[in-house]
A and B are shown apart, each in its own frame.
Chain A
Amino acid sequence: MPQPQSGRYSVFAIARQALRQHQDWNRAWASPEPRDRYKIVIVGAGGHGLATAYYLGKNFGITDVAVIEKGWLGGGNTGRNTTIIRSNYLQDPSAAIYDKALKLYENLSQDLNYNVMFSPRGLIMLAQTEHEVRGYRRTVYANTLQGVSTEWIEPARLKRLVPIINIDGPRYPVLGGLYQARGGTARHDAVAWGYARACSDMGMHIIQNCEVTGIETADGQVRAVNTAKGRIACGKLALVVAGHSSQLADMAGFRLPIESVALQAMVSEPIKPCMDVVVMANTVHGYMSQSDKGEMVIGGGTDSYNNFTQRGSWHHIEETVRALIETFPMISRLKMLRQWGGIVDMTGDRSPILSATPVGNVFVNCGWGTGGFKAIPGSGWAMAELVAQGRPGPLAAAFGMDRFRAGRFIDESVAAGVAH
């Protein structure tokens, strides 16, 4: 492997730089001006867009690629999620792509030579109603058949794994949980930065502050994108933009079965380590983990109506916090430090779209809803196959947008009906 322009990161590099007062670190990625033409243009420099670019280079040797971004790198949902990684989905196509992502996460730091702080600390989804008990037991059976290791755990074991939990109610006693020991978290910014650095090292262009203002099509093919930094011609175009997928599709001349809503999250003041697993409580709409800095990272439900505010409704914060205080009474005195929102794009069956489109050389990757972060490496892998070959590989095959017409839904609304 050629030496990265940014210098290979290692313990020796740190020691060497320490002697030089850390003055000689190279920039992790270049910020070039766009060329007139690229073989492939990817819109959206979030995790999914950058991962698509990375696997185009790594798996297909295509490096004439530009990733263009309206804001800053990883500043959309990649920088706004609660960093949860898991693959305990009910349906086979979902389990395949999310488990691919999880397996890639397991070695991502080594692969990218960039520490993404993947922490397989384990993840528990609480069952707090009889309906959830049956649902999660069913998911465990499905996961076993899919080769995804998850298990059903009883309340006593759950309490040992999460000592701060209140399993006795009052509203919703904990009846057990769906436990995935391989699940966990990763540093979300580092995932975007690591991919960006690796793409830049392969000679790809990452162009920030470059909003797409229009898409030029002729004869059912895209010719170029018009951007804040001028016209950029392209052989193929990949739209990987999450919240604004409908707007980009509209520019290209087709419609998506997508609606955009706000999802919000918040973090508390940092406290000493108190919980070393991720806990999700879907009945009461809340989930929580503890970051390496000690903050309790808390996420809740989405707004139930279309909006693009990156803010979220206040009453959802109250609902989420109220639910989590019942489940974790010790957090009741914590102060919240920050709250933020992101725009997620929801499909009718709550599964993503990785698909060719009515415009011949345009491909979309969208509809990850509230759970895209965990999928980033698998999504990039499958999207790179789709864009490079012009047809989906085995991971993306079931996620075409034609499934809504054909009625081939990948219904995850039961398994993941709330935010995740």
Chain B
Amino acid sequence: MSEIDLETARKVAHLARIAVPEDKLPALAQELSDILNFMEQLNEVNIEGVEPMTSVTPMRLKRRPDGVTDGGMQDRILANAPDAREGFFAVPKVVE
């Protein structure tokens, strides 16, 4: 169906939020194309009237009351953060 061109590879990398240097884009585009070509086999299958699978086991999900079940552990949640300050996760400036 579709061959992945450089522009598409660049766009996919950006959508995935993965920095890919310009000189690596051709190889990436080729790899993605090869994998997608492998997937093209799926076009041989007659899927007329077939429902897409949403759950592999026919089970109704359990319900529970919509209430707070946990919390009050700010320090434990921040303990693994690369940069935590004054009880918050710190990131580069987002709004000018």
Asked if chains A and B come from one complex, the reply is no
